[in-house]
Amino acid sequence: MIERYARPELLHLWSAAARYRAWLDVELAACEAMEDEGDVPPGTAADIRARVALDADRIAEIEKTVKHDVIAFLTQVEESVGEPARWLHLGLTSSDVLDTSLAVLLTRALDLITQALEGLMAAVKRRAFEHKHTVMVGRSHGMHAEPTTFGLVLAIFYDELHRHRRRLAGARERIAVGKVSGAVGTFANVSPTVEAAVCDALGLAPAPASSQIVQRDRHAEYFGALALLGASVERFAVQVRHWQRSEVGEAEERFTKGQKGSSAMPHKRNPILSENLTGLARLLRGYADAAIENVALWHERDISHSSVERVIGPDATTLAHFMLHRATGLVADLVVYPERMRANLDAGGGLVYSQRLLLDLARAGVARQTAYAWVQRNAMKAVEQGADFQTAVLADPDIGAHLDRPTIERAFDTGHHLRHVDTIFERVFGSEAA
């Protein structure tokens, strides 16, 4: 992943040095387990650990000749350690090391992503309570629908992120498995107890059954969860882009001192963070698609998944982590304009209250479709002729024959639409909403 869209924690996690360290951890855990079983001389793992000096550049140099990354790694370790290195990799195949270490790295990455998600959720929650009663127009199809509050919009986003928190927990459970079962997963040259000990040492569970690899439905779920999370971040970012439009003006990304919006137009203040998040979410979906393609491999394994995972493992996790931090800053610093929200709500002269009028007429004995036609003709007059909707309704003789003036005026009460805000907050945030 390019550094522009990466934070230091993930860059370090996926560095060559960290990758080889994870491989060595698997090899040493296996060596220690074999010591316990009497297959390797006691103290061998400790001796190797004391002597070893991993050299990523030397491994890359060796790989140019041997054209096999794990063999290059083992060769460099042997150069560094000497004679004790002959006890490494006994009965193992490359995928034992690669898949088990990948599970370690993906789990660590997901822990950082989850921590970042919790930071975003905290920011969303804080702003939701801040704007719990900030009235705005709700929209469907991009058109004015009925009143809502900005706090409710954020509460919905929070609830969505909470579901992602649960999805990530499930994905973590299913990706945190290792395999040290040999060439085709039959434990022909290594025992299941060694596998169990290795996984326990690394914080993993043994795969109940594996071929030469851990099956890739686990990885597909993992990257799918990241893609879904990105889609929800994108959904909110798209809303910000609409709110920031010049003719809407309800909220905008904070424009900092010295910032420039356009190389040509000095007046521009563009929603660059939101647009960036929209683009990055597209990449996450692409990575998820590639992970699904990796599920169907030939027989006990082929390596068509390998090149894909070398890219999507670091890139998808790094991007998701970056997106969450960027989205947290976007939410925390979002500039909200309650007066503009109210002005936009009122701009239609009360059109957003049409449903309550329709229901009041139905309750007064008017057939629903007839009531709909009466309300709609006044609404169209407001839309097409610029008339005030409430004034037009009060002047309509058909409506007036069934509803008195106080009843009509009550239909235009914003509070009626928002009387259950506290209930919704309590559902989302529990007792903290009280």
SS (HEC) of 231-274: HHHHHHHHHHHHHCCCCCCCEECCCCCCCCCCCCCCCCCCCHHH
Catalytic site residue from 140, 141, 246, 299: 141
Q: At what angle do helices 69-81 and 44-51 cross, to 10 degrees?
A: 90
Nearest-angstrom CA–CA distance, 393 and 378 = 6
**In sequence order, which residues have a C-beta less than 8 Å from that of residue 420 and are 6 or more positions away?**
none
CA 84 to chain centre: 45
C-alpha count within 13 angstroms, C-beta hemisphere, residue 124:
29
Nearest-angstrom CA–CA distance, 296 and 302 = 10
Q: Does residue 416 have an active-site annotation?
A: no
**In sequence order, which residues have a C-beta less than 8 Å from that of residue 48 and are 6 or more positions away?**
28, 31, 77, 81, 84, 85, 87, 88
CA 77 to chain centre: 38
Catalytic site residue from 15, 262, 304, 307: 262
Q: Does residue 141 have an active-site annotation?
A: yes
Is the four-CA dihedral 401, 404, 405, 409 of positive or negative sign? Answer: negative
Q: Which residues are catalytic?
A: 141, 262
